[in-house]
Homo-oligomer: A and B are copies of this chain.
Amino acid sequence: MDHMDYSAQMRDLGLRVTRGRLAVLDALESHPHSSAERVVIAVHQTLPEVSIQSVYNVLNDLTEQGMLRRFTPPYSAALYETRVNDNHHHALCTSCGRIEDVECAVGHAPCLTPSNSHGMEIQLADVLYQGICEDCRKTDAA
């Protein structure tokens, strides 16, 4: 997904195309699963004048419009990614905090249905796998 695609998508959504928004999308493209703080750092590499508040605004606006996906692992600030609409899941290393994408076998939501939904109409099943990554296993063993 390059600038042209993102720009077209924003226009389609009735959003103005700004440098800040493109910079946030770029940052998340190259650093998926980033917190707002990390996005700010990445954006400031190329656009040091963009304010922190603006990054928050962009993250919220684009998430609301479905161009970004937001999730919150335990004990973590919110993380963002550009990969949306494929209903993929995440695997978190509880030792080092590393996060990997995990393909969803079904590929669309909801990929699971509860046995008893208590009358709820389930639209989405968010799955967060937790475990120990390869690197941490090696380190722990030592």
Contacts and interface: CB of A to CB of B under 8 A. Distances in A.
Given A72-B74, A102-B116, A130 B121 contact: no
Tell me the number of copies of this protein. Answer: 2
Contacts of A74: 70-72
A50 interface: no
Contacts of A125: 127-130
Interface in A102-116: 102-103, 105, 110, 112, 114-116
Given A71-B74, A74-B70, A114-B89, A130 B122 contact: yes
A30 B41 CA distance: 44
Interface string A15-33: 0000000000000000000
A132 B123 contact: yes
Contacts of A115: 102-103, 105
* For the complex of A and B, 8 pairs with smallest distance between CB atoms: A119-B134, A122-B131, A100-B118, A102-B114, A124-B130, A126-B128, A123-B131, A120-B131
Given A71-B74, A118-B134, A124-B130, 11 more contacts: A72-B74, A91-B114, A94-B123, A102-B115, A102-B117, A103-B115, A112-B112, A112-B127, A112-B129, A123-B130, A123-B131
